Amino acid sequence: MAKYTKNMTEGSEFRIIITFTLPLLLGNLFQQFYNIVDSIIVGQYLGSNALAAVGATGSMTFLFYTLCIGLSVGTGILIAQHFGAGNEDYVKKLIANSSYVILFFGIILTAVSVLLAPTMLHILETPDTIFDTAVWYMQIACAGTVAVAAYNWINAVMRALGNSSVPLIFLIVASVLNVGLDLLFVIVFGMGVNGAALATITAQAVSAAGSIIFAFLKFPQFRIGKENARFDKAIAWNCVAKGVPIALQNAFISVSMIYLQRTANMFGDTVIASYATTMRVEQLIQQPFISLSTALSTFTGQNLGAGRLDRCIRGYRKSMIAMAVFAVVMLGVFMLISELIVSVFVNDADVISIGGTALKLSACFYLFLGTIHTTRGLLNGSGDVGYAMFNGIVEVIGRIGFATVLAMIPEIGCWAVWATSGLTWFITGLMSYLRYRSGKWKEHSITA
């Protein structure tokens, strides 16, 4: 049992969190590598218009993916707390019933996202020059939503049991497959952006299938008898009750990103391509924050389940220090070589100029972005999911409000897109930290 699971309620808090974070970080980087390869191949071989078409769909596909991710996170919260408390039979019931929930929602979201792709891109006011290409790309990418749901579910379960290494192995295999399929579909077969989308969802499906098969073969918690596999309405509802607020938080954030994408679309193809490029880079930069947040969430869940509040607080404080160091280092890097980084994706001089300056602007707010992720890890791990939904509403108000006002100021112009993100990070990060200081999150664990 100990070979594939990890009890995080004993030992050095910082060592456990960092050790757990590193495989997560490598896995997330490989996952972002999918997106980066798509962008480089599309931008270099198909041109900036094709890159703009791919970028125009990003916020919409993220909306559907992130609903699945939120439900998975909710499941992980419950499993981590009950695993930390030693409730093995209940953990098995949670695994079985959460799989039913995830499969149901995954199928529904797949169908809805594919059918509504043209309507959604119309709402975004996607330019006519890239509209048809964007529709095809989004429909193919969204057809893989059920695979995204399955992949994130199995990862959430294994992380809750203290294992962040196994998913990494399958992500490495999938990333290599993704690169190969990108080159084959886009360059050899000439499938355009459709080939890039097909390559990504194929790689995601392979990773999901491999992880699930391995878990059933190796993890004792997946050896579920008929009694534990039986559908339990109360447990399924508990998974939904924990997962939906986080899914809604993610959905609210996605809606705000969609509005921001719409704002970028107002400034034309060059700004769309610049925004798409900076989003790819920032998604990569956010991975250490996200990985640390995920590790802290599991750490918090297990320790609260075991009644170790003191370890949760110490783990959070040490994680905040690590986050701040990384944020400052990244600020320095972007101040020096942001244009060089953008030039990896595109050859267009205007896109490189705008994107390079935009990255410098965003980097000034990375400390607040890191605060959001780190504090969110603690709050989610404790089961404080009601605040998670409120947190998402704050991001919606911030992004829509700032984007609307700033875009109307001629002197700011297209820079409103990136200034909006920075100011939203500032407000959301501050509110998240105040929630931590209030101590209300302590009331949501199963032992409270």
CA dihedral for 53, 133, 31, 379, sign (positive or negative): positive
CA–CA dist 207, 203 (Å, integer): 6
Over its length of 448 residues, how does the chain's per-residue pLDDT go in tens digits?
457 788 888 889 999 999 999 998 888 777 777 667 767 788 888 887 888 888 778 777 877 888 888 889 888 989 999 998 888 899 999 999 999 999 999 999 999 999 999 998 888 788 888 898 899 999 998 998 999 899 889 989 998 998 888 878 887 888 888 888 988 998 888 888 888 889 888 888 988 899 999 998 988 889 888 888 899 999 999 888 888 888 888 888 878 888 888 888 888 888 888 888 888 888 888 899 999 998 999 999 999 888 899 999 999 999 999 999 999 999 999 999 988 988 887 788 888 888 899 999 999 999 999 999 999 999 988 888 888 888 888 888 999 999 999 988 888 888 999 999 999 999 999 999 999 999 888 886 655 4
pTM for this entry: 0.81
Q: Could you tell me the two tokens for 317?
A: 């404080």
Q: Which residues contact 301 (CB under 8 A, 6 or more apart)?
A: 76, 77, 79, 80, 81, 84, 160, 381, 382, 383
The answer to whether 175 touches 203, Cβ cutoff 8 Å, is yes
Q: Which residues contact 115 (CB under 8 A, 6 or more apart)?
A: none
Angle, helices 145-160 vs 166-182, to 10°: value is 160
